Structure 1
Amino acid sequence: MASLQVEELSHSLLEISLQELVKEPIITIPQNFIRLDQEPPSSLPYGSPSPITTPTIDMSRLVSGEDDGHELEKLHSTCKEWGLFQLVNHGVSSSLLEKLKHELEEFYKLPLEEKMKYKIRAGEVEGYGNTAREAGKLDWADRFFMITNPIHRRKPHLLPELPSSLRNTLESYLLELQKLATKLLSLMAKALKIDVTEMIELFDDGMQSVRMTYYPPCPQPELVMGITPHSDATLLTILNQVNGVDALQIKKGGVWFPVSFLPDAFVVNVGDVLEIFSNGVYRSIEHRATANSEKERISVAFFINPKFEAEVGPSPSLINPKNPPLFKRFRMEQYVKDFFSRKLNGKTYLQHMSIENGEGNSA
């Protein structure tokens, strides 16, 4: 009977709050959250390997250029071979990161009725909640996703209506990450030997968004998925693991490996749009998040993309008779709409855009 009540409750909260669902201890995982279609975390190679050692990039060395370009070359090879790195000495103050942590923890302590002021509305993807993308299946997480740039695309009931302390801290944080993303993408253009102005024109005042995610503890983490495996439909994603609880996993050589974060480091990953723009030189990486049996996890992902009206495709600087385009050109706004209308499934959306596949949305 108890399990039936939990099942009914999970249906009633389908698009509301997992955090509310697990306030009372649950014994049976509701069917909506069971993901037997996914490789469980226990499917790692024999012997439970240590978290994979991902490359580390030092932002202070990149900017200073005092090492004869060694750090820039390391950035270039990392984006080609990994598509993901940990960024240290990034310049965002530890006091701001600590304040953001505090404000997010306070937000997720708010009563449900307060958080529901920001709920996802019918037919939209922005807001607070937990929505099913396929066959009624849900990730083990509550998310608050919103577009933050251009300013005129902000939903008036979301960021502007947040508690003032959280709103001000988030605005400061987003401003710092905008500056950081500009530096990183400009350096990547230099490493790719693309005119920096071409890169800047692509993303300057482009679409930026943020996803604040709360992962509650799960009594049977092997049955659920914190976030379904996917690659990001972005230029870059900057991930801040707010409260130090690891859950990110990346697929390397066909095997899932956990990533252990360095203190105060950001994890930066190449998105599908940057793989397309670099004509396949840089590679986006498939990743997922698992659940923890004992601890809650809070993360903030910042997504950087071109302008909605931009036409995106391989950089003309990289195309020549010996290096033909691998991907079709497309309008960014249509690309985003298509991404959110499809289920998350590894890198299949990027494959959909390849010329070799014979598909994709040409502009």
Structure 2
Amino acid sequence: MVFSKSQGNVQELAKELKLEVPHCYVQEHREPTFVSNSRSPLFSIPLVDMNDIIKILGSNDKDQLKNLCTTCQEWGIFQLVNHGVDKMLVKKMKEEVVKFFNTPAEQKLKYKLMPGDHQGYGQTPVHSQDQKIDWADRFYMITNPVHRRKSNLLPEFPTTLRCSNYQFHCLYSLFSCTCLCMYSHIMSNGVYNSIEDRATVNSVKERISLAMFFNPKLESDVGPAKSLLTNTGNPPLYKTLVTEQYLKDFFSRKLNGKAFLEKIKIKNGET
């Protein structure tokens, strides 16, 4: 799970800033932001009904399956509706996360990101002096499997945040089969699209993001599906890695998804 806030210990830094943002936070080479107007409205993310997915799983409805497949190929993302998750639970979880980020800095530092680790509270791990850093603080931690939890993180959370986290995780774990990410892109051998998320920022209000990631077992392989390669006759476009190594390599690439995909692509002459 990742909690991120658009002015985190950055929060403390933002209190001191006047006019100029430190250069390490300035992203000069980002893609241009799409701004809508009356003639060019914003694109609408596809909606997928959970009831339709249940029907697909319980029948042989090829039309519904084709629609879902097309969405994954063309978009790589969709909004799931009629999923049954209690809105009040989501609201409560957000409120508890806001409370956490508003606690004094010394309190949050009890959960700080340690050198060489990627779980804990802090900023994006820095791997080079010229690395650009997100204008954000985040709290990343593994919640399941239980033996992978850090003893100084979730078990030490304030009771209300820990309980909300548990309930939130249990409900969203039900929908792990619908999670689309780089895994689906790699396992489909590039057929399913992989997107990089963007956020709508607000110049006066801090932004909270609450994300959950569902990974294969850390001991399992991640690579193009062998059955797909056999059926299509296409060569694999990506290397096969053990999931744990995949995650370590991903975080070592500064959380840059597209750069990571390029890194694990099979180049000419590689096997």
TM range (shorter): 0.7 to 0.9
1:34 corresponds, among 23, 26, 35, to: 26
In 2, are the aligned partners of 1:82 and 1:283 still within 8 Å (CA)?
A: yes
Letter in 2 for 1:81: E
Matched residue, 1:54: 45
> How big is the shift at 1:61?
2.3
Q: What is the SS of the residue equivalent to 1:323?
A: coil
Any stretches of 5+ residues in structure 2 without a counterpart? 1-7
Structure 1 residues 167-210: Cα deviation after superposition (integer angstroms, max 9, x where no partner): 1111111111111113x2xxxxxxxxxxxxxxxxxxxxxxxxxx
In 1, are the aligned partners of 2:189 and 2:225 still within 8 Å (CA)?
A: yes
- Change in 2 beyond 3 A, CA 1:64/1:85: same
Task: Count the aligned residue pairs.
Answer: 259
In 1, are the aligned partners of 2:113 and 2:121 still within 8 Å (CA)?
A: yes
> How big is the shift at 1:70?
4.3
Deviates more, 1:113-122 or 1:25-34: 25-34
1:130 corresponds, among 123, 133, 136, to: 123
In 2, are the aligned partners of 1:57 and 1:74 still within 8 Å (CA)?
A: no
Alignment pair present for 1:311 and 2:224 = no
Deviates more, 1:160-169 or 1:338-347: 338-347
In 2, are the aligned partners of 1:57 and 1:71 still within 8 Å (CA)?
A: no
**TM-score w.r.t. length of structure 1:** 0.65
> How big is the shift at 1:313?
1.9
* Structure with more contact order per residue of length (Cα contacts < 8 Å, sep ≥ 6): 2
> How big is the shift at 1:117?
0.9
Structure with greater proportional strand content: 1
Alignment pair present for 1:347 and 2:258 = yes
Distance between the aligned counterparts of 2:29 and 2:187, measured in 1?
A: 32
Matched residue, 1:72: 65
**TM-score w.r.t. length of structure 2:** 0.85
> How big is the shift at 1:39?
3.3
Matched residue, 2:198: 288
Distance between the aligned counterparts of 1:287 and 1:330, measured in 2?
A: 24
- Change in 2 beyond 3 A, CA 1:179/1:29: same
Q: What is the SS of the residue equivalent to 1:22?
A: helix
Matched residue, 2:15: 23
Alignment pair present for 1:156 and 2:151 = yes
Distance between the aligned counterparts of 2:42 and 2:88, measured in 1?
A: 28
Distance between the aligned counterparts of 2:68 and 2:267, measured in 1?
A: 28
Any stretches of 5+ residues in structure 1 without a counterpart? 1-15, 185-235, 237-269
> How big is the shift at 1:95?
1.6
Distance between the aligned counterparts of 2:160 and 2:117, measured in 1?
A: 26
